[in-house]
Amino acid sequence: MQIPAVPKDVDWREFFIEQLIRLMGVSAIAFVLLIFLFLVREGVPALLEVPLSNLLGQRWYPTFEIYGLVPLILGSLLVTVGAIAISLPLGLATAIFIGEIAPEWVREILKPAIEIIAGIPSVVIGFIGIQIVSPLVREFSGAPTGLTALTGVLLLSYMALPTIISIAEDALDAVPDSYRHAAYALSATKWQTIWRVVLPAARPGIITAVMLGVGRAIGETMTVMMVAGNAARMPLGFDAFLRPVRTMTATIAAEMGEVARGSTHYHVLFVVGLALFVLTFVINLAAALTIFREKRGGGGRFLA
Amino acid sequence: MPPTAKIVLEDVSFYYGQEPALQHVSLEIADKEILAIIGPGMSAKSTLLRILNRLSDLATEGRLEGRVLLDGKDIHDPDVSVTQLRTRVGVVFAVPVPLPLSIWDNVAYGPQLRRGVSKSELDSLVEKSLRAAAVWDEVEDRLHEPAMALSGGQQQRVCLARVLALEPEVILLDEPCSGLDPISTMKVEEALLTLKKDHCIVIVPHNVQQASRIGDRVAFLMGGELVEHGSAEQVFTKPRDSRTDDYITGRFG
């Protein structure tokens, strides 16, 4: 039998498609770079005009040219860490329930239900926060106002949940059944199998889930702006959660519309954006490195 | 009749949903012997193995009929603990499945699930098990490296060691050498011949030659039906059923 020669135009098509895919891949990276360069371009004038000691100060008071970023950064970190501290255990437990324990029909209901939660607009969640969560927080804590860091934390943790659940569930789902059977065959109970075998095997995916959850929480603007009180104070001390707090995102959203374009304040807001960008980048990098190191440690050797 | 029956299957059938897999199998499995279950594909050999330590419970919509007795006790009795049963009846799969842990942790995994085993006891248990599985010499310097980094043949012997660490009475092996080179296969077979002195071993070999090399008794399954069983010598030299003869002489399968 004679194999027909590959027609010439197929070669050409291969080349075209390959280049198209390459172009798309490269442009995705290029856009991220361009965003970063834009932030730098708009932020650099502020770094030249405002002394570093001012930027690293503990007070944010732009009207008097006091641009301390520290309370904003700490504010963002506080609500993000708080939100993840709640949504990680809750989300992981839900993912384990859906992926490992629930019967098929319950799973079929829960999975889409969780995706619906993910689709609720953040302004609606903020509205619920103002109307319901904030009065509850005020009542139970005895704080002078219900618009506190805690209120933001509660709502953000709710918003990060669907992300964490669905990514973690995918990670559990990707663990081969042969691992589970091997563990059962070694006389492990269901819980021992989940805790000692399935979870460790799914760890890279779970770390990714947490990182995307962190990204969701740290980048969220509307909800925190509505419910967290927005006072740019240093969130230190034990009562920090019960006081108002202001995040970087809320600051940019609230003030960008009111500054004169090209003013110092305008440029400083870009520095805030830059700080946010760097912070998320560092967090993601740390996660990627953790996963990378574990993969290498896990031994990538092929079966002989 | 085998001298001492460790496991007795009484008219055992197994269904996946509506589909019958194993049909009316009655079989006695002797202690301190190797039983080789041979037969063409889809004849429910793996199903039969999995029933013996109730991994068949995990099959969705699986259904079992008949009784399986271990030392005269029905393993499906409500008062039998599945986890306890699985420490007594260990299984090695066709594809080695090292858990994503170190070699040491893989072997110590089973014993660690029981409470009150000290670190030094575990250490000696791990060494003993790896030696019995004929892999100690190759891994003793790298016990804390990931088991996944081993070669396929080493992984399979570590998996065997992992089962031995549970100190089981019965060892089930489902084509344990299917992915292994001849030398690794030989090492596994040697280990099994030593282990048979104080274990009941049931193996689904990956070919008829292996059954003849290590099997004391042979059971021939076809289409979920037990066609015949007897001593290896009898089945291989004077098969009673013409289908057995056709299969072992390589006319099909």
Instruction: In whole angstroms, give the CA distance from residue B25 to residue A155.
Output: 60
Q: Do A201 and B110 touch (CB under 8 A)?
A: no
Apex CA B161: angle with CA B155 and CA B162, to 5°?
A: 90
Q: What secondary structure does DSSP assign to B23-42, as a single string? A: EEEEEEEETTSEEEEE-STT
User: Residues B89, B52: contact at Cβ < 8 Å?
Assistant: yes
pLDDT of residue B95: 80
Q: Residue A204 carries which side chain, given as an amino acid letter?
A: P
Strand partners, B73: B70
Read off the pLDDT of residues A254-276 as tens digits, 9 standing for 90 and up: 998 888 888 889 999 999 999 99
**Is the Cβ of B151 closer than 8 Å to some Cβ of chain A?**
yes
The CATH classification number of B5-248 equals 3.40.50.300
pLDDT exceeds cutoff 60 at A228: yes
Query: pLDDT tens-digit profile of A182-208?
Result: 888 888 889 989 988 899 889 889 998
Minimal Cβ distance to A304: which of B58, B153, B159: B153
Structure confidence at residue A7 (pLDDT):
62
| Joined tokens for residue A57 | 């100060």
**Residue spans of chain B under pLDDT 70:** 1-4, 115, 251-253
CB contact under 8 A, B113 and A181: no
Mean pLDDT on A233-246: 84
Mean pLDDT over A140-165 rounds to: 90
Give residue-wise pLDDT tens across range B106-131.
Answer: 899 888 887 677 888 888 889 999 98
Q: Contact, B68 vs B29, CB < 8 A?
A: no
B194 touches chain A (CB under 8 A): no
- Tokens encoding A82: 């708080």
Of B87, B146, B151, the CB nearest to A297: B146
CB pair distance less than 8 Å for B93 and A189: no
Q: Which CATH number fits domain A52-297: 2.60.120.10, 1.10.3720.10, 3.30.70.3270, 3.60.90.10?
A: 1.10.3720.10
Question: What's the pLDDT score for residue B185?
Answer: 87
* Model pLDDT, residue A302: 34
Segment A106-150, tens digit of pLDDT: 999 999 999 898 889 999 999 999 999 999 988 888 888 888 899
Which among A116, A209, A204 has a CA at the least distance from the CA of A169? A209
Task: Inform me whether the C-beta atom of residue A295 falls under 8 Å from chain B C-beta atoms.
Answer: no
Provide the token pair at B232. Answer: 């290896």
CA–CA separation, A135 vs A151, rounded Å? 9
Quick: pLDDT tens for A271-302.
999 999 999 889 888 888 887 776 654 443 33
Of B107, B12, B81, give the one whose Cα is nearest residue A186: B107
User: Torsions phi, psi of B15, nearest 5?
Assistant: -120, 140
Domain boundaries, chain A: 52-297
Task: Kindly report, residue by residue over A3-59, the tens digit of the pLDDT.
Answer: 766 666 667 888 899 999 999 999 999 998 999 999 999 999 998 888 888 888 888
Is the Cβ of A123 closer than 8 Å to some Cβ of chain B? no
Half-sphere exposure at residue B81, Cβ-oriented, CA atoms within 13 angstroms: 7
Closest CA to B171 of B245, B249, B110, B252: B110
Nearest CA in chain A to B51: A185
**Is residue A1 over pLDDT 70?**
no
The helix or strand, by DSSP H or E, that contains position B127, with its residue range, turns out to be helix B119-132
- What is the Rg, in whole angstroms, of the alpha carbon atoms belonging to chain A? 24
The torsion of the CA quartet B181, B187, B191, B196, rounded to 10 degrees, works out to: 60
Q: Does B205 touch chain A (CB under 8 A)?
A: no
Question: For all residues of chain A together, what is the average pLDDT?
Answer: 87
Which run of H or E residues covers position B105?
Answer: helix B103-113
* pLDDT score for A299: 41
**Other C-beta atoms within 10 Å of B120: how many?**
8
What ranges in chain A are assigned the alpha helix state H? 8-49, 52-55, 70-96, 104-118, 122-128, 134-141, 149-173, 177-185, 190-193, 199-201, 203-219, 222-227, 248-256, 264-297
Q: Which long-range contacts (CB under 8 A, 24 or more apart) does A173-182 make?
A: A173/A99, A174/A202, A174/A205, A175/A201, A175/A202, A176/B97, A178/B93, A178/B95, A178/B97, A179/B97, A179/B99, A179/B100, A180/B58, A181/B55, A181/B58, A181/B93, A181/B97, A182/B93, A182/B97, A182/B99, A182/B159
Chain B contacts in chain A segment 178-207 (CB below 8 A): 178-189, 192, 196-197, 200-201
Gap between the Cα atoms of A72 and A272, Å rounded:
8
Give the closest residue to B110 by CA, choosing from B76, B147, B161.
B161
Q: Does B99 touch chain A (CB under 8 A)?
A: yes
Task: Determine the pLDDT at residue A294.
Answer: 67
Helix (H) or strand (E) holding B13: strand B5-16
The pLDDT score that the predictor gives to residue B115 is 67
Q: Which of A261-266's residues contact partners 24+ apart within 8 Å by CB, and which partners?
A: A264/A45, A264/A46, A264/A49, A264/A50, A264/A65, A264/A67, A265/A62, A265/A65, A265/A67, A266/A42
Task: Report CA torsion sign: B131, B136, B137, B141.
Answer: negative
